[in-house]
Amino acid sequence: MYCMAIQYPSDFWKDYELLDSGGGLKLERFGKYILIRPEPKALWAPSLPAEQWEAMAHTRFKPGAGFGKAGKEDSGTWERLKKTEDQWYVTYNNPSGPRFNLRLGLTAFKHVGVFPEQAPNWDYIYSGVRELSGALPKGTAPKVLNLFAYTGAASLAARAAGADVTHLDSVRQVVTWAKANMERSGLCDIRWVVEDALKFARREAKRGNRYHGIILDPPAYGHGPDGEKWKLDECLFDMLRCVSQILEPQNSFMVLNLYSNGYSPLLGETTVREAFGGAVGEMESGELALRDRFGKALPLSIYVRVKR
């Protein structure tokens, strides 16, 4: 029987909370600010009345004309309901795992610099690196590659555990943001790469380079710095085949995260297994979700994890 796991951020994380959800929206607290953002998966009715949302929130995202269209699905502006800084910080502090700081900001694409539901992946990555450190020869740091790495929370989790981290994203401004998060967290020596992820993975495979940990969180659509086109449905399998070639055959792990609607954990598992040619090792999959104050579970992404 196939049994799907559902994972949520742990209660110890005090700098984030999903307060309410519904009506295609979510009411969230990031540190000292409360935000209203669109969430198509929140199909139910909110538990709190609209006027209470308005009274609580500091700012809300107003979708633009391109909202819902490929490549512009998250574009819009922020309406400030109370005084709100353009940038602020939150801390992720797992008593038995990673600790790091993240700068948040009100971007034109509804995102603020962190995906809170990813916290279970951060904990998994930290634990995976620590376990590898004990399995590898003394003095050997696990090599971890983070593809489509955004503002770097997963990179920071790996580095906090002692990994030799390569952080790759196709957007230079986002890599600069991630570097600032590293410095704010008191960490150092992450390798920064601004490049198309698939092109980089293919080159690493050709060179015979390998990693003990690979993290990938690919978007549905995207572009490389030189105009390379990424479409998840067309490129994911090729990317995973490259990953299978550059992931160490022993003492290694992979974390795949997918946000695309219509992708299930079982679909993710099958795609990974076929791309790896059956040489997968241990595999687990499930959904990452948030739960609001009223107990409503909001599923947001699926994950597949491989351990060799």
pLDDT, tens digit (0-9, with 9 covering 90-100), for 234-269: 999 999 999 999 999 999 999 999 998 789 999 999
CA distance 111 to 242: 29
Whether the pLDDT of residue 109 is over 70: the answer is yes
CA of 193: how far to CAs of 138, 150, 179, in Å? 28, 12, 11
The pLDDT of residue 70: 53
CA distance 266 to 131: 27
Q: Each residue of 10-61: pLDDT tens digit?
A: 999 999 999 999 999 999 999 999 999 999 999 999 999 999 999 999 999 9
The pLDDT of residue 1: 45
Angle between helices 265-275 and 232-246 (to 10 degrees): 50
| Average pLDDT for the chain | 94
Strand order in the sheet with 25-30: 16-22, 25-30, 33-38, 59-63, 76-80
Q: Are 289 and 297 in contact (CB under 8 A)?
A: yes
Structure token pair of residue 144: 């971890």
CA distance 209 to 246: 6
Mean pLDDT of 284-307: 97
CA distance 162 to 143: 9
Mean pLDDT of 204-226: 94
Domains and CATH numbers, the chain: 5-90 (2.60.40.1180), 117-307 (3.40.50.150)
CA distance 179 to 188: 9
Whether the pLDDT of residue 222 is over 70: the answer is yes
